[in-house]
Amino acid sequence: MFFTYIYWLILLRRIYTTKEITFTFATFCVSSLKLNFFFFFLMYILIIISFVVCYWRFPIEFFWLINSSSWFFHFLIILKDYCSFFFSIFLI
């Protein structure tokens, strides 16, 4: 992810100095951003699968959920927290 920022800074500096965008470099920057997006999407899917497996096995740590909110509502809260964490990475 850090290298993507470096490439974008180099691209912006090159655009500023030459007043033109090279097609190869711009394509590389866009493809690297796309790969980072797919990586975070993969991590999101892996987190969802891990929570599904944990609920499926139902370990002792989740017994408190029986008398509190529903599993589905708790799962939605986890998904919302992950999304807010994902967006906070780019906003901070």
DSSP 8-state assignment for residue 61? G
Instruction: Please report the pLDDT score of residue 66 as a whole number.
Output: 62
Report the percent of the chain where pLDDT is more than 90: 0
Mean pLDDT of the chain: 76
pLDDT tens-digit map of 57-91: 666 666 666 666 676 777 788 788 887 877 777 77
pLDDT digits (tens, 9 = 90+) for 29-62: 777 778 888 888 888 898 888 888 777 766 666 6
Q: Specify the DSSP element, H or E, that contains 19.
A: none
What 50-53 contacts at long range (C-beta under 8 Å, 24+ apart), as own/partner pairs, is 51/75, 51/78
Q: Is 77 exposed, middle or buried (0-12, 13-18, 19+ CB in 10 A)?
A: exposed
Split at pLDDT 50, 70, 90, the class of 6 is: confident
Cα distance between residue 16 and residue 11, in whole Å = 9
Cα–Cα distance, 35 to 37 (Å, whole number): 5
The torsion of the CA quartet 55, 56, 62, 64, rounded to 10 degrees, works out to 100
